Structure 1
Amino acid sequence: MLFDRISMNRFAIECVYRAIAYTILSVGVLIYYTDEPMRLMYWTVPIASVILLSISIKAFYYLKYKINEASARQCIFVLDVVVAALAIASVHFSLVFSLLLIISLIFIGNSFKSSFITTVVVCAIGIITSYLASIFIFGFQNYFNLNDIRLVLYSFSCFLLFLGSAFYFYKNYLEHVKKTKHYYQEQMDRYVQFSTQLSRYAPKQLWQSIMSGETQAKIEYKRKKMTIFFSDIQGFTELAENLPPEELAFLLNDYLGHMTEIAKKYEATLDKFVGDGILIFFGDPHSNGLEQDAKKCIEMALMMRQQMHVLRERWFKMGFPELHIRMGVSTGYCHVGNYGSDYRMSYTVIGHNVNLASRLQAVADIDEILVTDSTYNLVKDQFICIPKQPMQLKGMQNSMNTWQILEKYTGNTADMQQWFDYNYKGFHLLLNLEEIQHYEHVKLIDILEKMTATLKTQKRMTTNQGVAKLTLSDEVVEILDKE
């Protein structure tokens, strides 16, 4: 509608200028014949101008909707050429009048950016019209006349008026284009801002697919083999009962913000937040293959666990209790797509393996990553895994074999590893070489050597069964007691 309104306003202005131009041509023709007896043929040009002006208005609207606006304007230009050819023939090709009129037509024709064939056809129509008018109406005499000084002065005056009005119109047109461009740029910026804000309520991959036209927002789903990840914060429900809402919101947003950035790094599809729980899946709408998706999911889980160590230290300094996460991963067939109604739909994943990932997370120990056999078989060549006792999960009829992911297997590249994260009862080592300065190496080596010496002493003082060894004096006392 806006384009149509702009086009109509522009055409209305052009009609006013065209009416003025036709009037100027008619007056010029009448000036040429002022010294001759009045004849009916002298009014040929004014009458034709009025008729063709009326035709041009109706023709423009008809052709605009039947063909297109550019073609409609070129057809109107042909009518202008016909009027100009009649005027030139009526003044018997008076040199100044004709040349200035032809120059004006060339100037107008260039603004349409017509093709070479169109230009040739228009010129042919103009020449044919002028010769036919000369033959049947105005006759052949006094060609290229320069004696009529009034027509010459009038022609130059009108030409200067034409140039002035053309430049004025062109300047206004440029300002109009500039304002229109500015308006649409503002609308585009608003559209980008709105789309960016709305994209935060949907997975990034889904939003990009919709924007590119690959996916449509309609109720549909498909069955697909995927890797599902589920995590939550252990003890968060109890913590929520004791913390003020502002502190709880800060803690939760800080946690979810860091976990989201990690998921984004590994190109995961973040399905939803369920309180402190996070549901993530790999394999839709884009997939790198089932095995690669599973490995990226485990790498993401390890990175989240490492990041949680950093967050826990920061939160502890801020006065919050220690918080730990539990994670469950399952690989198998699920149904993924848009669910809901045309009014409100949600892009999500459902199925047995989604429930399985949730159940694994619920039974996992703190900072533990539990995976199913199907996931283990896909990632066992790159990650250190240890078997767990078969578990009876809630809602599952049979016990299940599960595996705990310890760390990524680095093989011969251990010397280049930047992260060391080992957790065992009574012992926890977290080493991030990326954050340690070179001048701190000596101090850390000294601490590790003291820890190693303490462990060796403890090992020397105990038996293989963990019982403290007796000294020589203790053994003598024991023998005497027996005697």
Structure 2
Amino acid sequence: MMSAHVDLRNASSATKALSSDQATGSVAIPPMPDYNGRVMAYTVTAAIIVVGVLQQAFAHWLLWLVAGAVVWPHIVYVVTRKTFLSRSPRIRQKMLLVDCVIGGAFVGCTGLVAIPSASVALMLMFSCLIVGGIRQWLIGSCFMAISVLVALAFVGPAASFQSPLLTSLCAIVSTGLYICMTAYYSHQQARALMLAKTQIQNQREQSIALSHKLSKYLSPQVWQSIFTGERDVRLETQRKKLAVFFSDIKGFTELSEEMEPEALTELLNHYFNEMSEVALKYGGTIDKFVGDSIMVFFGDPTSRGQREDAFACVSMAIEMRKHMKIMRQKWRSQGIKTPLEIRMGISTGYTTVGNFGAENRMDYTIIGKEVNLASRLESLAQPGEILISYETFSLIKDRIMCRDKGEITVKGFGKPVPIYEVVDFRRDMGPNRSFLEHEHSGFAMYLDSDKVTERERQVILQALEDAAERLRTGEDVPESETGKLG
């Protein structure tokens, strides 16, 4: 007469995707017992009718309801699963209300015989609570009450509301059996749902771990835009105005001939790691590493505007140049005598950016004449020099001091291209500059006053005073103290 189970159809799509295929290792969820539960409910109701009629607790004509109780569950199954009603929203709740009407009519037709009527009502209310909660229970109770009153209006109440002992026992046992079986199904599905959630959580954690591994092969901005759904992974490009940066190490070829491959690899990876942190600090998209060269661009996938993108790119280059001096001193202390210098080129203009390649193997990169110009500027730069195009200069000249370097001829450009050398931030020029550096044979000093704490300031001053005193008297400065100065 009714059915009950935990509603899984509103679960997440990931839970729905779990099947009973053991080959995939997924959690098997028991089939939804609408049909089984309804067959059981109507079967026990038919048993109550038969026993009640045999003991003369019910009228003999109620035996006709037994046939309906046997056929009705199959009709409901066909209607709700094999017809257009299967797509109807909340079809289970609606059919349960029909069961409440049928159950109420049966209770009214029995004349409200106490225990059988209470048993049927209990099964209906139990099903409503499990399937639809309090709301379904209230609506089902109303439908059943109305149906009971209508049936009583035609049949009238029974001569006695008490039922024979066997009829009462049959009703109680049948109801208890139905409730126990329904509860068992609900427990099994709740358990399966918990296992499914656990498996989904495990798969989610594995996916996160895998995505973090894959992120090492992509720039963080590109990786984030893909995994957040902002960007589709397909072959597509667009035209955008970007600031493009190239750099390489002057003297690296000579160094590669002197060092063992393992030591050279360690040095190069250390260099790339340090420079990558600087690039990410300023929001650059790291395109690729080629040999000892680095390619970075600003303005995609995210942009702060052309002026800010260009300023961030040049600021990154200045900090890389400063950081290279510190790294060079560290390498010298490790026995690397070849002076390694970084040279850089920056160009700003429209490029084609996006996914290039094949459907099964693509690369997120940029192409265009501005890319060629940045690469050309990098190859023309002297060690420690940053060359920029006129477009870049026009965007950053109010905050960064630059020096005119004349014009060059570049393939793909019809006219000579004016270029400029980056000197430093205007705020750091003159007596107010925060970064000082001196490097000679036997002496190296790199000072960034903005990063020095008050406690460190006193220690540095004392070390400088000791060094100055020894230089005046011509004494050798101990190695431990030159290390402090570097």
Match of 1:57 in 2: 77
> Does the Cα contact within 8 Å between 1:63 and 1:72 map onto a contact in 2?
no
Match of 2:223 in 1: 207
In structure 1, list runs of 5 or more residues that go unmatched: 455-483
Return the offset for 1:297: 0.7
Given candidates 343, 346, 359, the residue that maps to 1:329 is 346
| Secondary structure of the corresponding residue to residue 286 of structure 1 | coil
Shift of the 175–44 alpha-carbon distance from structure 1 to 2, 3 Å rule, reads same
Return the offset for 1:345: 2.6
Mapped to 1, the partners of 2:143 and 2:28 lie a distance apart of 28
Given candidates 257, 262, 269, the residue that maps to 1:246 is 262
Match of 1:387 in 2: 404
Shift of the 184–73 alpha-carbon distance from structure 1 to 2, 3 Å rule, reads same
Mapped to 1, the partners of 2:215 and 2:192 lie a distance apart of 34
After superposition, residues 219-258 of structure 1 pair within 5 angstroms as 219-258=235-274
Given candidates 340, 344, 348, the residue that maps to 2:361 is 344
Letter in 2 for 1:3: K
Listed one character per residue, the Cα deviations across residues 25-65 of structure 1 (whole Å, up to 9, x for unaligned) are 11112221123499873433332122111122223323688
> Does the Cα contact within 8 Å between 2:351 and 2:366 map onto a contact in 1?
yes
Given candidates 424, 438, 441, the residue that maps to 1:407 is 424
In structure 2, list runs of 5 or more residues that go unmatched: 1-12, 21-26, 475-486
Given candidates 104, 112, 117, the residue that maps to 1:98 is 117
Listed one character per residue, the Cα deviations across residues 141-160 of structure 1 (whole Å, up to 9, x for unaligned) are 52661142333333333344
| Secondary structure of the corresponding residue to residue 146 of structure 1 | coil
Return the offset for 1:367: 1.8
- Out of 333-342 and 82-91, give the one that drifted further: 82-91
What is the CA RMSD across the aligned residues, in angstroms? 3.7
| Secondary structure of the corresponding residue to residue 113 of structure 1 | helix
Mapped to 2, the partners of 1:423 and 1:394 lie a distance apart of 38
Shift of the 419–294 alpha-carbon distance from structure 1 to 2, 3 Å rule, reads same
Listed one character per residue, the Cα deviations across residues 234-287 of structure 1 (whole Å, up to 9, x for unaligned) are 122343344333323222222111211111111111112222211111112221
> Does the Cα contact within 8 Å between 1:262 and 1:303 map onto a contact in 2?
yes
Given candidates 157, 174, 177, the residue that maps to 2:173 is 157
Match of 1:472 in 2: none
| Secondary structure of the corresponding residue to residue 267 of structure 1 | coil
Identity level (%): 29
Return the offset for 1:103: 2.9
Match of 1:313 in 2: 329
Letter in 2 for 1:62: K
Instruction: State TM-score, norm by structure 1.
Output: 0.80
* 1:34 equivalenced with 2:50 (yes/no): no
Shift of the 84–447 alpha-carbon distance from structure 1 to 2, 3 Å rule, reads same
Return the offset for 1:400: 4.0
Return the offset for 1:175: 1.5
Mapped to 1, the partners of 2:470 and 2:58 lie a distance apart of 125
* 1:291 equivalenced with 2:307 (yes/no): yes
> Does the Cα contact within 8 Å between 2:240 and 2:351 map onto a contact in 1?
yes
Match of 2:9 in 1: none
- Out of 391-400 and 305-314, give the one that drifted further: 391-400
- Out of 247-256 and 439-448, give the one that drifted further: 439-448
Mapped to 2, the partners of 1:148 and 1:40 lie a distance apart of 16
Mapped to 1, the partners of 2:348 and 2:254 lie a distance apart of 31
Instruction: State TM-score, norm by structure 2.
Output: 0.79
> Does the Cα contact within 8 Å between 2:55 and 2:167 map onto a contact in 1?
no
> Does the Cα contact within 8 Å between 2:355 and 2:365 map onto a contact in 1?
yes
> Does the Cα contact within 8 Å between 2:284 and 2:298 map onto a contact in 1?
yes
Return the offset for 1:110: 2.0
| Secondary structure of the corresponding residue to residue 348 of structure 1 | strand
Mapped to 2, the partners of 1:440 and 1:31 lie a distance apart of 102
* 1:3 equivalenced with 2:16 (yes/no): yes
Return the offset for 1:80: 3.1
Mapped to 1, the partners of 2:402 and 2:395 lie a distance apart of 12
Return the offset for 1:90: 4.5
Shift of the 13–235 alpha-carbon distance from structure 1 to 2, 3 Å rule, reads same
Return the offset for 1:230: 0.5
Mapped to 2, the partners of 1:95 and 1:157 lie a distance apart of 15
Shift of the 8–42 alpha-carbon distance from structure 1 to 2, 3 Å rule, reads farther
Match of 1:179 in 2: 195
| Secondary structure of the corresponding residue to residue 33 of structure 1 | helix
Letter in 1 for 2:100: V
